């Protein structure tokens, strides 16, 4: 659904249309995607790596046996890194290699090693496109689940007129945005809480925490990608909000509780990711307390516990809580799971180098009798993995493939 934080591996092969890939990179980066360009040896004859590096803000990868590049990220790591593999333009030669699994260059090796969805946009001379050999390769790829964008018909660089033109970069951008999305959570309404809350002391001061709302927004994005309708109830945050979510801005824990109660009526899933302030001043003064005044003792009272309140509701949505912990992650998360009557508790480690604000983190997903570790990885990747797991739990017969083969899972009998 969204390109934000999406990791796109863009392969460019030998076709005159390679120049359009430059504009495609610009559009993807503009929309927040991370783009790693990989050029086939022939592509280098058509467009300069320096242009693509400037547009993607990353070194372009070209050779399979590049020791320096392999040291920083091996080709297998690169294949795992990608959320989507796109080849635009894809030459006839590239389609033939992809169809037969020939891994004789970096791009083809990555295509064999990745588990991400693959999209190819062929571009070539009309006769080459219509040649039965090319058509057979294209059909084999479609049967194997590769998404193929039909070339446009029109005037070609070689002087002929026919099918073989690479579609406009904007069209390709839209196709990439849709790639890998499915409807596993179609019809599900999810409420997500995100960010911190602020509890005012006086008109100038408040109690809060370091939460940035990044994880909550990544979860909302991942739910949208799976087809859910998302209401995002967020405290004060200054990161871009998911454009397709219904967003409700609140400040205090009490306001967040009110907003959640107003929206959970028809919801099947609540992901309580907000770092709700635990306490608030017992009294809030209407006037600013002067610095010259005697230092006073701030009396605190607990804020309403939103997740625990929902845990007592009958019927209640599937409840996913978050536990930011500095130690004993699994144990503390399971205690909270029981105390709040939630279905899943996701523990994340916070500390000097972890947690709030960091883009990479590790999660432990705890339910009544098992724990699953995810990461370390980017918050967007972890959010997608978590949402896939939630989708399986919500409808066990859903078409979502549980990602747990990729995660370390330990199940304990209790």
Total of residues contacting ligand C5P (CB under 6 A)? 15
Per CB under 6 A, the list member of 321, 329, 367, 378 interacting with ligand C5P is: 321
In angstroms, the CA 90 to CA 287 distance is 67
- Closest to ligand C5P by CB, 21 vs 259, is 259
Select which of 22, 94, 111, 158 is catalytic: 158
Return the range that interacts with ligand C5P (CB under 6 A); candidates 53-61, 88-96, 107-115, 270-278.
270-278
Question: Phi-psi category of 330—alpha, beta or left, where left has phi over 0 and alpha has psi -120 to 50?
Answer: alpha
In angstroms, the CA 301 to CA 199 distance is 11
Per CB under 6 A, the list member of 9, 84, 190, 253 interacting with ligand C5P is: 253
Q: Is 333 in the site for ligand C5P (CB under 6 A)?
A: no
Distances (CA, A) of 270 to 181, 194, 261: 21, 11, 11
- Closest to ligand C5P by CB, 118 vs 207, is 207
Q: How far is the CB of 283 from ligand C5P (least distance, A)?
A: 19
Distances (CA, A) of 96 to 37, 107, 138, 139, 389: 21, 13, 8, 11, 36
- Closest to ligand C5P by CB, 52 vs 323, is 323
Residue 329, φ and ψ in degrees, nearest 5: -55, -50
267 is known as an active-site residue: no
- Closest to ligand C5P by CB, 19 vs 279, is 279
DSSP assignment of 225-276: HTT-EEEEEE-S--SPPPTTSEEEE--SHHHHHHHHHHH-TT-SEEEE--B-
Q: Is 378 in the site for ligand C5P (CB under 6 A)?
A: no
Residue with tokens 């179609």: 186
Q: Is 322 in the site for ligand C5P (CB under 6 A)?
A: yes
Per CB under 6 A, the list member of 55, 107, 188, 323 interacting with ligand C5P is: 323
Pair 342, 320: CB distance under 8 Å: yes
Q: Is 198 in the site for ligand C5P (CB under 6 A)?
A: no
Q: How far is the CB of 51 from ligand C5P (least distance, A)?
A: 46
Pair 272, 235: CB distance under 8 Å: no
Q: How far is the CB of 346 from ligand C5P (least distance, A)?
A: 8
Q: Is 250 in the site for ligand C5P (CB under 6 A)?
A: no
Q: Is 232 in the site for ligand C5P (CB under 6 A)?
A: no
Residue 151, φ and ψ in degrees, nearest 5: -70, 155
Per CB under 6 A, the list member of 202, 278, 354, 402 interacting with ligand C5P is: 278
Is beta strand 199-202 parallel, antiparallel or unpaired with respect to 246-249? unpaired
- Closest to ligand C5P by CB, 52 vs 219, is 219
Three-state DSSP string of 345-409: EEEEECECCECCCCCEEEEEEECCCEEEEEEEEEHHHHHHHHHHHHHHHHCCCCCCCCHHHHCEE
Return the range that interacts with ligand C5P (CB under 6 A); candidates 90-98, 112-120, 159-167, 321-329.
321-329
Residues interacting with ligand C5P, by CB under 6 A?
193, 253, 272, 274, 276, 278, 303-307, 321-323, 336
The residues that are catalytic are 158
């Amino acid at each position: 659904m969204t390109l934000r934080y999406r990791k796109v591996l863009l392969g460019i092969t030998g076709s005159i249309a390679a120049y359009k890939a430059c504009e495609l990179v610009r559009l993807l980066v503009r929309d927040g995607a991370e783009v790693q360009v990989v050029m086939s040896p022939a592509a280098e004859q058509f467009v300069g790596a320096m242009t693509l590096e400037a547009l993607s803000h990353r070194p372009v990868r070209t050779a399979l046996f590049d020791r320096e590049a392999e040291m920083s990220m091996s080709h297998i790591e690169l294949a795992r890194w990608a959320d989507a593999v796109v080849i635009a333009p894809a030459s006839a030669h590239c389609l033939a290699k992809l169809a037969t699994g020939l891994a004789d260059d970096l791009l083809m090796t990555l295509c064999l090693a990745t588990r991400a969805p693959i999209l190819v946009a062929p571009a070539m001379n009309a006769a080459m496109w219509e040649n039965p050999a090319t058509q057979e390769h294209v059909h084999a790829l479609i049967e194997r689940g590769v998404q193929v964008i039909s070339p446009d018909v029109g005037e070609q660089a070689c002087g002929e007129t026919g099918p073989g033109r690479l579609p406009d970069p904007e069209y390709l951008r839209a196709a990439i945005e849709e790639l890998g999305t499915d409807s596993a959570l179609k019809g599900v309404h999810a409420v997500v809480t995100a960010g911190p809350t602020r509890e005012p002391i006086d008109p100038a001061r408040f109690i809060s925490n370091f939460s940035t709302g990044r994880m909550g927004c990544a979860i909302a994005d991942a739910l949208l990608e799976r087809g859910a309708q998302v209401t995002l109830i967020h405290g004060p945050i200054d990161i871009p909000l998911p454009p397709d979510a219904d967003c409700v801005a609140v400040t205090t824990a009490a306001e967040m509780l009110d907003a959640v109660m107003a929206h959970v009526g028809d919801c099947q899933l609540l992901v309580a990711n907000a770092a709700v302030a635990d306490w608030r001043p017992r009294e809030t003064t209407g006037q600013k307390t002067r610095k010259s005044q005697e230092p006073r003792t701030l009396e605190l009272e607990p804020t309403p516990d939103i997740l625990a309140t929902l845990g007592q509701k009958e019927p209640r949505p599937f409840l996913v809580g978050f536990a930011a912990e500095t130690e004993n992650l699994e144990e503390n998360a399971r205690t909270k799971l029981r105390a709040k009557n939630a279905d899943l508790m996701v523990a994340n480690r916070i500390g000097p180098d972890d947690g709030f604000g960091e883009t990479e983190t590790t999660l432990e997903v705890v339910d009544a009798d098992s724990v699953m570790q995810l990461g370390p990885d980017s918050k967007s990747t972890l959010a997608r993995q978590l949402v896939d797991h939630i989708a399986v739990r919500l409808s066990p017969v859903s078409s979502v493939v549980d990602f747990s083969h990729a995660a370390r899972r330990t199940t304990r009998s209790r």
